[in-house]
Structure 1
Amino acid sequence: MHSVLIQCLGEFLGDFIIILFGNGVVASVSLNKTKAQGTGWLAIALGWGFAVLFAVMIGGVFSPAASFNPALTLAMAIIGKFSWNLVLPFILAQFLGAMVGQLFVWLFFYPHWAETKDSATILGCFSTGPAIKHTPSNIFGEAVGTAILLIGVLAFGQNKLVAGVSPMMVGWLIMAIGLSLGATTGYAINPARDWGPRIMHSILPIANKGKSGWNYALVPLVGPILGGALGALLYQGLLGLLH
């Protein structure tokens, strides 16, 4: 059995990897004078998919739940597949991992922030934002993306997959969500992924930074939590029809 502390370490490590690789690819594509500047949405979607894949492979060694996402953690607890006693420690570890991951992104790309004059571009390397700000639509988009994520994760658990295939399936699912459903909001589908780096944007002395966009921040919090819970309940209900 993994102790609570070890599991929380795994959750921390998973979110650290997700943000280091995920926002790392966003910074590579977006910031001025990187060698990957302008390579586009496909690079971002692939990078985020691989970020989650490696987070599950590495962080999952310490945290078998391999949640790394408060919306997933809450949804699993709601349907009885995760202990409520672990919900708060896991969410705290997830947020801290995301924050430290973003600190490393800021340090890694340190000279490029000064070369990038557009504050919105800089914020996009930290947190999500809408292509068109329309709160009901933005919340719906985040909810649908997260519901699909939960349904996929639960469905993979029902299939007799060869060891090591499940993390790849989750990574591919993240890629699919990003490519198909991510272009309207930046597909947070994970409150820690958005809020952890957004907090760091607020407190770090980033060159050319503007506001941290807290007027939008409820969308990547409320949308994923609602979508995750609804997706898990829907899948559980449909599965119950088979028995």
Structure 2
Amino acid sequence: MHGLVGELIGTCVLIVIGAGVGAGIHLQDSYASGESNDWFYITIVWGLAVTMGVYVAGSFGSLGHLNPAITIAYALFGLFSWHSVVPYLIGQFIGAFIGAVIVIVHYYPHFSATEGEKQGNTVGIFATMPAINNPVFNFLSEVIATFFFVLILLNLGDFTKGLKPVIVGLIIFVIGAGLGPTTGFALNPARDWGPRLAYTLLPVPNKGIGHWNYAWVPMLGPMLGAIFATGLQVMLA
């Protein structure tokens, strides 16, 4: 239960801050409107969102994965107990969904003031979309970005302790800056699917569509990238 609760609350924190910056820059009439092309701004806030989520998750007794790709890849190679996989996954997806709900409530008047996708009321506030729609290369981009993210992460040891969550946030920032502009760098199936589902199901004013035809990319790409990185680390260790 500690793992489930920690992952749920930590992932919720991650999405509230991360999707919150997306809402702030895309929706009309917020003080952050007009910053939508500032990729540096977006990537650093997502990095800090992960930092805060890891700290909170760790304080509730989880390992701060916040990411099914990490949980599953670690379990496959004996770095994490299979007994804890299901509670971690449940916590991650539910936490991501709840985080998106909180952002929708927080920005509700701004969703009402933003008339459709042309003005910025899109699922991209919550989930990832490719800059150029090319499913094969979009998938490869997610595999590559997640591979390097997890490879670096594996060499931090317990990344919930001390200043290590700050380092995790910096990793997210540099991966996002260097490899993220192609797809929006999901790196994390729960971070994409939980908020995408919330945006699709909830009565968000003037909302666009969920673009579920693309959702397999941020689900499978990070999974494969994390498995490749963990396998390589275990093989060479």
1:9 to 5, 8, 15: 5
Q: Which residue in 2 is equivalent to 1:31?
A: 27
Q: Tell me by how many angstroms 1:119 deviates.
A: 2.3
Which secondary structure does the structure 2 equivalent of 1:183 belong to? helix
**1:186-220, Cα deviation, whole Å (9 max, x unpaired):** 11100000000011011110111122100000000
The DSSP-based 3-state class of the residue aligned with 1:182 is: helix
Taking structure 1 as the reference length, the TM-score comes to 0.92
Contact 2:4 2:88 in 1 (8 A): yes
Pick which of 70-79 and 120-129 moved more: 120-129
What percent identity do the matched residue pairs reach? Answer: 40
1:38 to partner: Cα distance: 2.1
Conserved 8 A contact 1:8-1:63: no
2:236 to 206, 228, 238: 238
For residues 61 and 28 of structure 2, what CA distance do their matches in structure 1 show? 37
Counterpart of 1:45 in structure 2: which amino acid? T
SS state at 1:60 partner:
helix
Name 1:126's counterpart in structure 2.
Answer: 126
Distance 1:64 1:96, change over 3 A: closer
Q: Which moved more, 1:149-158 or 1:210-219?
A: 149-158
- Structure 1: unaligned runs, 5 residues or longer: none
Q: Pick the aligned partner of 1:73 from 49, 56, 71.
A: 71
Q: Match for 1:54: what amino acid?
A: M
The AA in structure 2 aligned to 1:135 is: P
The runs of 4+ residues in structure 1 deviating greater than 3 Å are none
Separation (CA, whole Å) in 2 of partners of 1:182 and 1:150: 15
2:219 — aligned with what?
Answer: 221
Cα RMSD over matched residues? 1.6
User: For 1:73-123, what per-residue CA distance to the aligned partner results, in whole angstroms no more than 9, with x for missing partners?
Assistant: 001101101011111111111000000000000001011112212326321
Match of 2:112 among 106, 109, 114: 114
- Between the aligned partners of 1:62 and 1:7, the Cα distance in structure 2 is 8
1:105 aligns with 2:103: yes
CA distance in 1, matches of 2:149, 2:142: 11
